[in-house]
Amino acid sequence: MVARALTWWTILKISLEERLVYRGDFALGTLMRFLPIVTQIFLWTAVFAASESGTIVGYSRNDIVAYYLLTMLARAFSSMPGLASGIARQVRDGEIKKFLIQPIDLISYLLLARIAHKLVYYLVAAGPFALVYYLCRSYFPGWPATDVFAAFLLSLVLSFMLGFFLEASMGMIAFWFLEVTSLLFVYMLFTFFFSGHMFPLDMLPDFWLTLVDYMPFKYLAYFPAAVFLGKIEGEALYQGLLIQTAWVVFFIVSCRLLMQAGFNRYSGFGG
């Protein structure tokens, strides 16, 4: 048990050191990602200027801008760039067989590497995030109540877990199809739209809103942002956290089952 803990700590430490090499790129890239918010401010200002009322489905212009900033924060937790494609590449090139002959669990290794990536990202990006949120502070209604803020933080952690195991499950499909680029492209389109990153999901027609409620995507970006802004509260808040947790458990189990089934059929082709 102690030896295994030391192994995981060593992997995490090495992964942190690797990510810190690119801290300058992290900081600059994070700051540049906020530039589209200027376009969003102009866009929604024009939309509300043309609207007869000051709100759209319960959102004011300030709420929309704050929502967009919060979804960017949520996506910083839940997005896993290169995870599924990296797993597919390792399967296709034969690199995956090292996890069959070494006493290292594939999913745990990938999770520790991604935790290291996120820790460095949050550390380096804290400055750009703080600057942008300070400049845009007038768009926010203020800090939520303590219990709501705690639920918001919990939803961010769950969104990280959901994003990781969902995308890792997508990567495991490479054991059957090898090339999953087209599948991942479709997945990215669905995620970007149904996660609420483009606009609040409340704006969808009732049919589509009901359909989205049965999907895990809304818990990647929309749900944490809506919790912070007080759009989801009371019983609906606790029910949402329970559903988000259930999706995390579902994809943890799915990821494990797909990995074991994939290992059983893997033929070891490649370098």
Domain ranges (residues) in the chain:
2-265
Would the pLDDT of 157 be above 90?
yes
- Residues forming beta bridges with residue 59, ordered by sequence position: 56
Continuous H helices in the chain:
2-20, 23-33, 36-50, 61-78, 83-93, 98-101, 106-135, 146-172, 174-177, 181-194, 206-213, 222-228, 235-265
Each residue's pLDDT tens digit, 61-110: 888 888 988 998 898 889 888 898 899 888 888 888 888 887 788 898 89
Backbone torsions φ then ψ of 268, nearest 5 degrees? 75, 25
Q: How far is CA 131 from its chain centroid?
A: 22
Contact between 156 and 225 (Cβ < 8 Å):
no
Q: What is the DSSP letter of 143?
A: P
pLDDT tens per residue across span 106-149 = 898 899 888 887 887 777 777 777 877 888 888 888 888 899 99
Question: What pTM was computed for the model?
Answer: 0.86
pLDDT in tens, 195-205: 888 888 888 88
CA neighbor of 226 nearest in space, from 244, 208, 211: 244
